[in-house]
Amino acid sequence: MNLAQRFADYAVSLHFEDLPNAAVHEAKRRFIDSFATAVGAMDADAYASARRCALRVFSRQPATLLGGGQSTPEWAVFVNGLLIRYLDYNDTYLSLEPAHPSDNLAAVLAAGEMAGASGRGLITAAILAYEIQCRLCDAASLRQHGVDHVTYGAISSCIAACKLMGLDATKTTHAIGLAGVANVALRQTRSGELSMWKGCAFANAARNGVFAALLAAEGMTGPAPIFEGELGFMKLVTRSNFDVPVLGGKGRDFMINRTYIKFWPAEYHSQSAIDAALQLRQQIGDVRNIQSIDIHTFDAAVDIIGKDPEKWRPKTRETADHSLPYCTAVALADGDVTLAQFEPKRFSDAALLDLVAKVKVHRDAGLSARYPNGIPNRLTITLKDGRQFQKEVEFPRGHAHNPMTDAEVEHKFRTLVEPRYGKERVGEILKSCWELEKLRNPTEMLTLFGA
């Protein structure tokens, strides 16, 4: 079998009854976390733009938009996926290729609603999507070739949609070919000054993954073998042959339990630097006494959030939350990193930018060797009187080796959702999520997020 056929057979054979309680519980936590980040992003201009487009389109099989309204399943994936991702506050997986696997949940919800899936179906498809995307991230890097990580997401979202729609292995294989051949995204999305598209890129890939599943369901065939072919994925995208030797189940762990929920709304490689800065802050006192801030870090952090000049003077929210210097400095200055720290009036503050200018980022081979098992950042802060303070953090709160509790996940949800929907509605949504296996259809849950 080629890899696409293996993925298809695996998807068809995976059932809710095969899933261990730990994976099911983690899936519920990820729906809670993703709904939280989605609601938190509902004031974003990008959401307003995408929603206006979506509401112009009607469907015989409509799908629900978070925040109210209906559109086609593909547009629902784009709008809801944009919301989940936009704040850079949803979950993460780090490997040869970093990823945000809860980005798949918008496709799971839309395809599930279209298919009339049960809560058990949603859980199974979510765990399946995590499994495929994370295993691909383990297999080969994309970003080193200028390709964006969302390229894997078109495939994982497609397979999840195929599962929910009940496609057999043959049609699922064709869908994977369609999703894989047409959705190679450029890494320029995350280079230099970042735009709104940074929060939309996976939503677009997932939308196209569902589109591929819809086409395959009606008999459209796709190119094969999509991974191993003469001009296929391995030859042109990853530029190396790779394998996915194992997949979860039959006594093996599922990848969803190896992913991380974010404690702070910032790019994941900055989380340990934020953690270290907050721990040092009480010793530092007035940040005006700081002479210099040195961050020793690993290669991925430098390459993704610590080398572009724009990271020292961010002009957009998207650049600020992808800036190691800014995230570290604002944590020292404000004593917390919340959505408020990424408002324009904050990241354009002259005094804060003076502090950001004192940050130097250093590659450290020893720290790089510990990535991606950990994300070690070491801060050394030198005061004007010559005193130095140092702190290193490898596993920030929320990491798989330092996981958030259920109570912390709920607190994050309430913090982001209660201001818009109130305590009573929040209670209903949380009950629905914690009892997700009892859900009759996704619309029951999605309508709780109406206007």
Closest CA to 102 of 92, 110, 111: 92
C-alpha–C-alpha distance, residues 318 and 101, integer Å: 19
Provide the sign of the torsion angle of the four alpha carbons 315, 317, 64, 91, taken in this order.
positive
Nearest-Å Rg of the Cα atoms of the chain is 21
C-alpha–C-alpha distance, residues 59 and 134, integer Å: 32
- Three-state SS at 404: coil
> How much is the pLDDT for 450?
92
Tell me which amino acid residue 184 is: V
* pLDDT tens series, the chain, 451 aa: 999 999 999 999 999 999 999 999 999 999 999 999 999 999 999 999 999 999 999 999 999 999 999 999 999 999 999 999 999 999 999 999 999 999 999 999 999 999 999 999 999 999 999 999 999 999 999 999 999 999 999 999 999 999 999 999 999 999 999 999 999 999 999 999 999 999 999 999 999 999 999 999 999 999 999 999 999 999 999 999 999 999 999 888 999 999 999 999 999 999 999 999 999 998 998 999 999 999 999 999 999 999 999 999 999 999 999 999 999 999 999 999 999 999 999 999 999 999 999 999 999 999 999 999 999 999 999 999 999 999 999 999 999 999 999 999 999 999 999 999 999 999 999 999 999 999 999 999 999 999 7
> How much is the pLDDT for 228?
98
Tell me which amino acid residue 417 is: V
Q: How does DSSP assign 29-93, residue by residue?
A: HHHHHHHHHHHHTTT-HHHHHHHHHHHT---SS-EEPTTS-EE-HHHHHHHHHHHHHHTS-S-BB
Bridge-based pairing of strands 290-297 and 63-64 is unpaired
Distances, alpha carbon 224 to alpha carbons 85, 167, 179, 183, 365, in Å? 31, 18, 11, 15, 40
Asked whether 10 and 247 are in contact (CB, 8 A), the reply is yes
Q: How does DSSP assign 101-136, residue by residue?
A: GGGGHHHHHHHHHHHT--HHHHHHHHHHHHHHHHHH
C-alpha–C-alpha distance, residues 153 and 159, integer Å: 10
Provide the sign of the torsion angle of the four alpha carbons 349, 352, 358, 363, taken in this order.
negative
- Which two structure tokens, joined as six digits, stand for 186? 């450029």
Asked whether 73 and 111 are in contact (CB, 8 A), the reply is yes
C-alpha–C-alpha distance, residues 205 and 191, integer Å: 18
Domain boundaries, the chain: 3-263+430-449, 268-393
C-alpha–C-alpha distance, residues 423 and 411, integer Å: 12
- Three-state SS at 296: strand
C-alpha–C-alpha distance, residues 183 and 208, integer Å: 7
C-alpha–C-alpha distance, residues 350 and 352, integer Å: 5
- Three-state SS at 216: helix
Residue 49 exposed, middle or buried by CB count within 10 Å (0-12, 13-18, 19+): middle
- Which two structure tokens, joined as six digits, stand for 37? 């980040």
Asked whether 322 and 305 are in contact (CB, 8 A), the reply is yes
Domain 268-393 of CATH type 3.10.180.10: no
* Alpha-helical regions (H) of 285-369: 299-305, 317-320, 324-334, 344-347, 350-356, 365-368
Asked if the peptide bond before residue 223 counts as cis, ω within 30 degrees of 0, the response is no
Domain 3-263+430-449 of CATH type 1.10.4100.10: yes
> How much is the pLDDT for 251?
84
In this structure, the number of other CB atoms found within 10 A of the CB of residue 215 comes to 17
C-alpha–C-alpha distance, residues 361 and 268, integer Å: 16
Provide the sign of the torsion angle of the four alpha carbons 351, 355, 358, 359, taken in this order.
negative
> How much is the pLDDT for 451?
75
Asked whether 82 and 46 are in contact (CB, 8 A), the reply is yes
